[in-house]
Amino acid sequence: MPDEGNLEVEILRQTYEDHRFYGDLRFKQLTLFALFTGVLVNAAVSDRGVRLLSGHDNRTLFSLIGMLFTAVFWVMEVRSTIWGLRHRPKKGAWASGSGASSGATPTPGVTFHWTLLNATNGVPIMYIAAYGLWWWVWNAAGQMTCPGWVAWIGFAAVGFVLFVFTAREYWQIWKDAISKWQW
């Protein structure tokens, strides 16, 4: 049987490696998002582009791809953030004697110092702006036919659902930060 002191160290080391992995994953997600968004914006606004769909402006096609792409990355960002926060041990869980030596595992949950003004809360604002931009580009393309208004409402509803999803997932950490006045 392994030494209990070494088991605590191993659990903590694995926890920190997991957080480093998810921090790196989030950075790579944002890098890919910026790259693909730049490519799509360039393709959507380029005057020298060849129409890829007959009867439709390239802005229509690339804005639809941009909205889909933004929605996928938005969900990935929220899910990876929440996974990391829910599997993070609270400060003091080991020092208080509730560590591996007492048979307990680190308490998952919100850390003691979570502020509202941080990069994690700034990233969803970026996704809201990007989705809104793509929705505006699609709307400005002027492809509003009879099924167009249905699509308009549909894309607005998807954006609203993404916003509600983010608020639902982040609600506990926002509530915790507000209750402790950690701005």
The confidence band for 102, taking pLDDT boundaries of 50, 70 and 90, is very low
Question: Percent of the chain having pLDDT more than 70?
Answer: 72
Distance (Å, whole) CA 178 – CA 183: 7
Distance (Å, whole) CA 22 – CA 80: 7
CA angle 34, 35, 36 (to 5 degrees): 95
- Residue range(s) defining the domain that contains residue 32: 4-179
Residue 98: helix, strand or coil by DSSP?
coil
Distance (Å, whole) CA 138 – CA 128: 15
Per-residue pLDDT at 86: 73
Per-residue pLDDT at 66: 92
- Of residues 112 and 168, which shows the higher confidence score? 168
The confidence band for 130, taking pLDDT boundaries of 50, 70 and 90, is very high
Query: Pick from 175, 10, 19: which is nearest to 87 by CA?
Result: 19
Contact 70, 137 (CB under 8 A): no
pTM: predicted TM-score of the whole model, two decimal places:
0.72
**How many domains, the chain?**
1
